[in-house]
Each structure stands twice: as C-alpha cells, then as structure tokens.
A and B are shown apart, each in its own frame.
Chain A
Amino acid sequence: MGKQKNILINLLRVTVIIFSVAVLYSAAKDYTYIDEKEKAGYYFSNRFENVLSNIMDTAENYHDMNVLTYNETMDRFELTPQYRASIQDELDAKVKEYSIAWEEELEDLKQRQLDSSLYPDQHLDIQTKIDDLEYKIANASAVVEAEKVAGVEKDLDYFAKTLEEIKNATIIYTNKSVNIKQYESMRDELKKKAKMLASSGEDYYWFEVGDGSYEIEEMLFTRLRKVKGRDGSANSDNIFIPNTINYRANQLMDKEGFRLFVFIGSSSNNLNEFDAISNGYRLFWDDLDRIGRNADRQVVAVAVAIALLVVQYFFSKRKMKKLEREGKTMGESKMDEAVQSFLHKLIYFVGNLKLEAKFIIFLIGIKSIDSIRYFDSSRTFLFDIIGVCLGLLVVVDFVGANKEAYLRNSFWHQWRASKRKRNFNGLAKNLGFSFDAIFVIGAVIIACYVLAAFSGDLHVALLAALFGGLIILFIIWKLYFKLLDERIGYIDEISASLDKMVRGESGVNVIVKEGNPFAPLAENINRLKEGYGTAMEEKMKSERMKTELITNVSHDLKTPLTSIINYIDLLKNEEVEPEYARDYITVLEQKAERLNVLIQDLFEVSKAASGDLALEMERLDVAQLLRQTLAEMDGKIEDSSLNFVTNIPKDSVMVYADGKKLHRVFDNLIINILKYSLEGTRVYIDVIQNGSVKIVMKNIANYEMNFDQSEIVQRFTRGDQARSSEGSGLGLAIAQSLVDLMGMKMTIRTDGDLFKVEIEIDKL
C-alpha cells in the first residue's frame, strides 16, 4: 500500500509541475499578446479622433482660405522661404506677363478711342475699359493674387466634393458587414477612384483606418509593419501612424497641389456614429485589461502552489533536523509523510467523496482542459485550473484505489443497500452534510455551465444557478426533515413511554412500529423492561427473605438467650455447692453477655449493610454530638490509662446526619480505641473544618497491625485476629456501614503503630 501511495504521490507531483509549466507558458503568451495588442491599441484608440480632427482641420483650413489672403494662408501654414520665394517669383512673372498684356490692350484701346471719338457712347465704353485696365496695371500684383485665390478656392471646392464623395462611398460600403476579401475590394475600388480624383497621378496621401475587428486590424497592422522604415514619399500606398499625422499634414502643406485621401473601412459602424465606435474601443481596452489580469492571476496561482510546496519542503526539513538533533532518526516513510501531508490531505479529500461527486468533478476537469486547450486568454479562468487539478486528482485517485471498494462508495450503492435492509439509518447518516452539499454544489456548477452557454452572461448564470441551488437545497432539506420528523416523532413516543416506566406505572410497554428503523430499539426496551422487572422482583424477594431471616434468626437466638441469662441470674442467687461452682456460673454469665452483644451487633451490621435502616437525617451539631458521646463514655475513659487529647471547636459545627447513628459510629470507634490502644498513650480526637468537616481519631495500637488496611472493616476481621477479648469484631464494620448509609466517607490508615480513622462529612 505504501509503495502504491508513493507512486501516486510522485505521479501527482509530476502532474502538478507539468501543469504549472503549461499555465506559466500560457501566461507568458498572454503577456506577449498584450504587448502587441497594446501597440495596436494606441493606434486604434486615437485613430478616429486624430483622423477625423485632421480631416476636419484640413477642411476648415481650406475653407478659411476663402477669407484669408494668399499670403496670410501661406503665413498660417508656415511655408518655407524658398517656397514663398518661388511662389513670389511665379506671381511676379504672372504680374509681368499680365502687365504687358494689359498694356498692349491699353494701347489698342487708346487707339480705338481716338478712332471712335466721333461716337461718344462707344467712347465712354472704351474709356471704362481703359480705366479698368489702368487700374489693373497699377495694381497688377493684387489682381494676380486675387485670381490665384479664386483658383485655390476652386481646388478646395473640388477637394470638398471629393471628400464628400469618399465619405458617401464609405458609408455605402460600410453598411454591410465585411470580411477581409470585401474589405480589400472596397479598398481597391476606393483607391482607384482616389487616384483618378487626385488629378491624374499627382501627389496624394492615403490614410487607411480599420474598425477594430480582429482580422482587419491584424491586416492593417501587418501592412503597417511592412511599411515601417520606408519613407512615406509621394506616389506610394502609405499608411500613416496617426500620431504623426499632424506633422505629415504640415509637411503636406509645404507642397502644392496635394490630395488627401482617407479610407475608413468599417464593418458595422460608420463615421457619423463616432460614439459607438469609441465605446467599442473602450471594450477593447477592457478586454486587454482582463487578459492582463488573467495572466497575472495564473502566475500568482502557480507561484502560490510552488510557494506552498517549497514551504512544506522546508518545514519537513526542519522537522527532520530537529528530530536528528534530538537523536531520533526519521524513517523514510515518516519523512515522506511530512513532505506529502499537504498532498495527502488533498487525495484524502478526493478519496472520501462519493463516486457521483467524483464523476462530476472529473467532467468539470475535462471541460476545463477543453477551455484551456485554446489558450484563449479571455476565457481562461483560475476556475479552469482548479477544475483540471481536481479532475486529475480524481484520475490519480481512481488509479490508486481498490476498485471494488471505490465503486461501492457511492450514493447509488448506499441507496440500494439501505433499501434492501429497509433501514434508512446508514443513508441518513451519510446523507447529512455530504449529500446536500455535494449535490447542491454539483447542481450549481452544472447549471452555471448550461446557463452560461445559453445566456452568454456569466453573472446572470451564476445568480440563476445559485438561486436554483438554494431551491434544490431547500427541497432536499424539506424531504430530509420530513424523514427526520417521522423518526423523532417515534423517538418522542418511546421517550414518553420510558418516562411512564421510570415513574413506575405498571403495564406500560413501548409501542413497536414495524418498519420503522427504531422498532428494534422499542423491542429491546420492552425486553429490557421485562428482564429488569423479573430481576427486581427476584431482588425484592431475596431482600425480603434476607430481612425476614435476620429478624427471625435474631428472635430465635434471643429467646433462648433470655432464658439462659435469666436462669444464670437465678442460679447466682442460689446456694450452690461446691463453692467453685460459683466460678463456673460467673463464666456462664460473662459468655452469655458476650453472646448477647454478638447477636445485637450481627443483627445491626446485617441491617445496616442491606440498607434496610430508616434514616432520620437532620441538622445537628457534630461538635456537640462528639462531646456528648465522650461524656457518655467518661467513666470508661477515666478507667483506662489512656490520655484523651480532644480538639473540638467551641462553636457549633452543623452537618446533616442521623444523630443516633452517627453517635453509634463515634461510640464504636471510641470503644475500639479503648480496646486496642497501648496503655498509657495519648489518643487524639480532632474536628477539622476546611470545606468539609473531618473528624479524625488517632491512637497507638497495642498490637502489631500486620493486616491489610482494607481488611480491617471487613466483618469479623479484627486487628489481632485471635479474637480473644470481648466484643464482636463488628464495631468498625457497623461504623463503616452506617457512615456509608448516611453518605459520608470513612477512611482508615495505619502507619506503624499509629491507627487513624477519618470521617468526612459535607459541611452545611
């Protein structure tokens, strides 16, 4: 078994390590992915804003040129001096050209004016034209500039129209959902149009923007990378990183006659719904965030697992070292045990589960593997990892288990077994916590999966599953308590019947409900009661017989003894011959008296031991009682050579006792002392109060106490064994019985020749 377990443990370890590596790899992949995505993300996130603002700015700028002078426009766009100079030269040339033309026209008009002086109305018309031309010549440069502005305005109109056209085209295309192919064809079509629009092969700039859908973004991104490092010169299909668009726009302004084209490929949104798009990007960021967090969590989970293993390893090492220091060697198995206890617990936990629960866990594990397989970060939960771990544990557990026992450890098996036995005890016991908890947990998990699959919203699924789980739990509890109620109800009945029995009501039997698991209990109680009744009857009979016997025997002994004593007394008064016969009579008298005492004591000890004595317990002063007892024996004490040293409190010491019987106890003890004390010694009688009341009597024995302490109170055992002197030898036995009867405690100790009796009474 040990070897098998070791294999299991090692298998489990390898599994944990492989799995940790896999998880770490997945996390690393996630991180790279995040890195790339993040770059793309910056590009995407600012894109619309930048592009749109650039478009709008450019449009605005061109529009503004309507009202601005050409030079102002040039100032505004911060044209380079060379460019300015070239423009100026051009203007000057134009002015020259126009001036010559205008002057020639003026000469011509002046000539015509002279020719037509006869026609005053013609003359006036010509004069107007001359004035106009003279103005033009005088203000040649201003006129040229105005013309240029008009030309630019014309251009702008043209551009605005184009932009509008592009926009319209975009909207038309983007209302459909696109795949890459459609996107490409859309793009090409638009590009063709753009090229055509861009004054046949002149410089133009091309902006291309995706909509955030994965494939398009990826494609754009690939293209971006391809382009990277190349100069974004004229005539090329350039994609500009929007961060540089302002710079580019400025650059564009340096050149004349550029054309700006923006292609916005959108699958489900359009330019006018800017908010919706930006919202989409926020989600994108959230997604990115979550991937990051998941990756973090994976790493943390693995780190924690590894940390646990490491901590455990060091703990076990320390333990081993400690044991070594203590001079103990740790067996290999022990060492293994220390290292593996954490894993053992896991395996033990899984091993104890019912087959059904294991199956559910196994399914969860498979499902988790399925979701982890894709390394799709957005769907990789810590939950999946745990699921896979548990699933693997179940497999390991199964591999290492005794198959027969393994299959038998199931609810189904137990249910069948309990049904066969018509006994729910076993099931009820196992139902307790595990049944409820595992079924509810299982139900919740399954419901989670099902609902999540249908609704696509994990939160809703979780809530619904929890609620469903609670309902299931409630139903199970209801059923369980109903089952329990039946049984407890019956237990109540049994209990009520038992109460009656205890109170001594005759003829009460516990009702036996066939089929109820507690029926055997009821039957057994009935049987027990019968047995007990019989035993009690027997006992009472024998007690009665015993008491009767004692009474009768003592009566039968006393009656002849009365005659003996009486006739000895009568004989004493007679004149008896010979003289020494009187001595015989004395012996007879003494022995008759001894017999009398013996019979009395025997009677008393039997009564006391059988507990057949009525007690008259009352509050009394034990100090006074002891004093009274000593006073009653004053004569005998004085006659003896003993010196009684008493230490009895002056104040009353109240206890609860039967006065006559306690007196008898003291009497017997003191008689004992008088009989068996060494001559001339001291006898100590103390009453000690601390918590309880202790009456202690100590004397020095006049013989060697070579007996067992427990033996001394045994009936007929006397200290000296020889039984030569008077007394029955029952004194201590009677005292012991009476003390027991009154619920007090008597202890006898001997120490050399010291004989010590101690009676302990509860203080009132």
Chain B
Amino acid sequence: MNNRVLIVDDDREIVEAIEIYLKNENLDVAKAYDGMQALEKLAEEDFDLIIMDVMMPKLDGLRATMKIRETKNIPILVLSAKSEDSDKIIGLNLGADDYITKPFNPLELVARVKSHLRRYVHLGDSSSPAKSNELRTGDLVLNLDTKEAMVGDQSIKLTPTEYGILEFLMRNQGKVFSIEQIYETVWNEPSYNVDNTVAVHIRRIREKIEINPKDPRYLKVVWGIGYKIERY
C-alpha cells in the first residue's frame, strides 16, 4: 500500500506541482487549500505525512500544526516563504518535524518527504534504539562493524579519514569540536599547521550525506567554534 501524503497550501499551483513530484515517487496524495480543510481531511482519513504551508487563509499552518499535534504524531513538513532562523525555530518548536523554505528545490523536498516517511512508517514513529554496533541520528546510520555509513536506505562511500571524522562526531552527538580537536583525535597527532584539511574533509562528508549541503541536517558548522553532528 502506498503511503498517503496530505499537501496543504493556498497556492493551488504549488500543491499540484508537489503532487506531480510525489506521485512520481508512488505516493498517494490528498490536497487541502487552507488549515481548516486540512483538519477536516485529517478527520476523515489517516495520513502518513503532511506538507504544510504557513501563510494560509482561515487557519494558518502553524496553528493547524499545533491542532494536529494535539492528537496525532505523524510527520509534518512545514513549507514557508519565511526563511529566517527565528521562523524555523518557532515552526520546529510548535511540533513541525522539518522546515523547508520557499522556493524549494523539488528534489530536496522529495528526499526529505521520503526520509521522514521511512522513519515514521518503517522504523516506527519514535526513534528506535540504536543497535550496539550502530551509531544513529535521524536517518544517518554508522555501522561500526562494517565501517559503513547509510542515509536512509542509501549506502554512502566514505574515505577512511572521512569515516574517522564522522565516527568521532557521531560518538559525541550534539557536542561541538574545533578543527584542532578533530584533527588531534582523528589523525592522532598534534595539530600543527592544520590549515583547511579538516574543514575541507567535513565539506566533502557533508556533500555525501546531506540532501542539501547548503542547509545541512546532520553535519553542522558552528561558525568560529567548530563542527557538530545534530542529535535527532
């Protein structure tokens, strides 16, 4: 059975465009054009994921998200023209699982939708406990035995150095490490004239594991301080 996705946006063309992309991925799609309609649809049937615009007539996306969160635990992707950090933080705090700014890259949207569905449908709605030989955050899984990295069901090819950096950061999720610290741990030698080596490696890792490297989900830059892996 195909997963069902509810698309909510007051701009019909956008809804239809998203519909086309999702149908190409074999997903069932339902459409709503404002918050009220979305709530009505949800009352009628179950969905596996909701794509929600923020600025809509009658009931805006954030309020609708709050309403939905009162009863349901399904993934909600907020789609908004508001691109500031504060807007993103508000959206995520109100119960959204992801925040995508308009205009969005269709491929990124699809990838994120699939990622959330996978986690919600296949792995259970809450993050399942990691296996003993695995390091996991969100869809990113590191197999310590096989030294393999996976994003969703995609296998990622990493060089030994890249794997070393990723493993070190994955073992300390949420913690920020400076270039020197990373270098000293992974290369196991004093950081002397490190230059951009670590930073460049990290950029490459990100290009491999992130859907949109410019707006990374896992491997994040903390400017002027270091890098960290986000814990999900």
Residues of chain A whose beta carbon lies under 8 Å from any beta carbon of chain B: 551, 554-555, 558-559, 561-567, 569-570, 596, 600, 603, 607, 614, 618, 620-622, 624-625, 627-632, 634-635, 650, 652, 657, 659-660, 662-663
Given A565-B103, A570-B17, are A630 and B224 neighbors across the interface (CB < 8 Å)?
A: no
Kindly state the separation between the CA atoms of A523 and B171 in the bound complex, as whole angstroms: 68
Residues in chain B near residue A631, CB distance under 8 A = 196, 198-200, 202-203
Residue of chain A at shortest CB distance from B197: A631
Contact of B59 with A by CB under 8 A: no
Kindly state the separation between the CA atoms of A408 and B21 in the bound complex, as whole angstroms: 97
Residues in chain B near residue A635, CB distance under 8 A = 203
Chain B nearest Cβ from A134, distance in angstroms: 160
9 A/B residue pairs, CB under 8 Å, sorted by A: A558-B81, A559-B11, A562-B102, A563-B14, A624-B225, A627-B195, A628-B223, A631-B199, A650-B194
Contact A634 B224 (CB under 8 A): no
Contact B13 A554 (CB under 8 A): no
Kindly state the separation between the CA atoms of A641 and B227 in the bound complex, as whole angstroms: 29
Residue of chain A at shortest CB distance from B198: A631
Contact B200 A603 (CB under 8 A): no
Chain A nearest Cβ from B221, distance in angstroms: 6
Contact of B140 with A by CB under 8 A: no
Kindly state the separation between the CA atoms of A662 and B102 in the bound complex, as whole angstroms: 24
Given A563-B17, A570-B17, A570-B20, are A620 and B82 neighbors across the interface (CB < 8 Å)?
A: no
Residues in chain A near residue B102, CB distance under 8 A = 558-559, 561-562
Tally of contact residues, B, Cβ under 8 A: 36
Contact of B144 with A by CB under 8 A: no
Kindly state the separation between the CA atoms of A635 and B84 in the bound complex, as whole angstroms: 26
Contact of B42 with A by CB under 8 A: no
Chain B nearest Cβ from A571, distance in angstroms: 11
Residues in chain B near residue A650, CB distance under 8 A = 192-194
0 or 1 for each of B97-131: is its CB under 8 Å from A? (1 = yes): 00000111010000000000000000000000000
Residues in chain A near residue B193, CB distance under 8 A = 650
Extra contacts, 12 of them, besides A624-B225, A627-B179, A650-B192 (Cβ < 8 A), are A562-B81, A562-B103, A563-B17, A566-B13, A566-B17, A567-B13, A570-B106, A618-B225, A622-B224, A625-B224, A628-B221, A634-B199
Contact B179 A624 (CB under 8 A): yes
Contact A559 B86 (CB under 8 A): no
Residues of chain B whose beta carbon lies under 8 Å from any beta carbon of chain A: 11, 13-14, 17-18, 20-21, 55, 81-86, 102-104, 106, 178-179, 192-196, 198-200, 202-203, 221-226
Residues in chain A near residue B86, CB distance under 8 A = 614
Contact B224 A628 (CB under 8 A): yes
Given A563-B17, A566-B17, are A657 and B203 neighbors across the interface (CB < 8 Å)?
A: no
Chain B nearest Cβ from A265, distance in angstroms: 117
Residues in chain A near residue B85, CB distance under 8 A = 660
Q: What is the count of residue pairs linking A and B with beta-carbon distances less than 8 angstroms?
A: 102
Residue of chain B at shortest CB distance from A599: B103
Contact A630 B103 (CB under 8 A): no
Residues in chain A near residue B194, CB distance under 8 A = 650
Kindly state the separation between the CA atoms of A592 and B202 in the bound complex, as whole angstroms: 30
Residues in chain A near residue B11, CB distance under 8 A = 559, 562-563
Given A559-B102, A562-B11, are A554 and B224 neighbors across the interface (CB < 8 Å)?
A: no
Contact A627 B82 (CB under 8 A): no
Residues in chain B near residue A562, CB distance under 8 A = 11, 14, 81, 102-104
Kindly state the separation between the CA atoms of A436 and B225 in the bound complex, as whole angstroms: 69
Residues in chain B near residue A563, CB distance under 8 A = 11, 13-14, 17
Given A562-B11, A562-B14, A659-B223, are A634 and B178 neighbors across the interface (CB < 8 Å)?
A: no
Chain B nearest Cβ from A666, distance in angstroms: 9
Kindly state the separation between the CA atoms of A558 and B106 in the bound complex, as whole angstroms: 15
Residue of chain A at shortest CB distance from B226: A624
Given A559-B102, A562-B103, A630-B196, are A625 and B20 neighbors across the interface (CB < 8 Å)?
A: no
Kindly state the separation between the CA atoms of A725 and B208 in the bound complex, as whole angstroms: 30
Contact A632 B225 (CB under 8 A): no
Kindly state the separation between the CA atoms of A621 and B13 in the bound complex, as whole angstroms: 46
Residues in chain B near residue A659, CB distance under 8 A = 222-225
Contact B17 A567 (CB under 8 A): yes
Contact B199 A628 (CB under 8 A): yes
Contact A620 B224 (CB under 8 A): yes
Contact A657 B224 (CB under 8 A): yes
Residues in chain A near residue B18, CB distance under 8 A = 566
Contact A632 B199 (CB under 8 A): yes
Residue of chain B at shortest CB distance from A607: B84
Residues in chain A near residue B84, CB distance under 8 A = 607
Residue of chain B at shortest CB distance from A614: B86
Kindly state the separation between the CA atoms of A630 and B200 in the bound complex, as whole angstroms: 9
Contact A621 B178 (CB under 8 A): yes
Contact A627 B199 (CB under 8 A): yes
Kindly state the separation between the CA atoms of A551 and B54 in the bound complex, as whole angstroms: 13
Contact A662 B223 (CB under 8 A): yes
Residues in chain B near residue A607, CB distance under 8 A = 84
Chain B nearest Cβ from A4, distance in angstroms: 77
Given A559-B11, A569-B106, are A621 and B224 neighbors across the interface (CB < 8 Å)?
A: yes
Chain B nearest Cβ from A394, distance in angstroms: 78
Contact B14 A624 (CB under 8 A): no
Residues in chain A near residue B203, CB distance under 8 A = 631-632, 634-635
Chain A nearest Cβ from B177, distance in angstroms: 11
Residue of chain A at shortest CB distance from B55: A555
Kindly state the separation between the CA atoms of A652 and B226 in the bound complex, as whole angstroms: 12
Kindly state the separation between the CA atoms of A657 and B225 in the bound complex, as whole angstroms: 11
Chain B nearest Cβ from A627, distance in angstroms: 6
Residue of chain B at shortest CB distance from A622: B224
Contact B199 A555 (CB under 8 A): no
Residues in chain B near residue A558, CB distance under 8 A = 81, 102-103
Residues in chain A near residue B225, CB distance under 8 A = 618, 620-621, 624, 659
Residues in chain A near residue B202, CB distance under 8 A = 631
Contact B223 A600 (CB under 8 A): no
- Residue among A554, A558, A566 facing the most chain B CB atoms (10 A cut-off): A566
Contact B83 A600 (CB under 8 A): yes
- Contact partner, B200, options A559, A625, A634, A657, Cβ 8 Å: A634
Kindly state the separation between the CA atoms of A569 and B103 in the bound complex, as whole angstroms: 12
Residue of chain B at shortest CB distance from A613: B84
Kindly state the separation between the CA atoms of A650 and B179 in the bound complex, as whole angstroms: 11
Kindly state the separation between the CA atoms of A634 and B82 in the bound complex, as whole angstroms: 29
Kindly state the separation between the CA atoms of A660 and B84 in the bound complex, as whole angstroms: 12
Contact A624 B224 (CB under 8 A): yes
- Residue among A603, A622, A632 facing the most chain B CB atoms (10 A cut-off): A632
Residues in chain B near residue A569, CB distance under 8 A = 106
Chain B nearest Cβ from A686, distance in angstroms: 15
Residue of chain A at shortest CB distance from B227: A628
Residue of chain A at shortest CB distance from B224: A620
Kindly state the separation between the CA atoms of A652 and B224 in the bound complex, as whole angstroms: 9
Residues in chain B near residue A634, CB distance under 8 A = 196, 199-200, 203
Chain B nearest Cβ from A622, distance in angstroms: 6
Given A565-B103, A624-B225, A628-B224, are A559 and B81 neighbors across the interface (CB < 8 Å)?
A: yes
Kindly state the separation between the CA atoms of A91 and B84 in the bound complex, as whole angstroms: 158
Kindly state the separation between the CA atoms of A628 and B178 in the bound complex, as whole angstroms: 10
Contact A554 B81 (CB under 8 A): yes
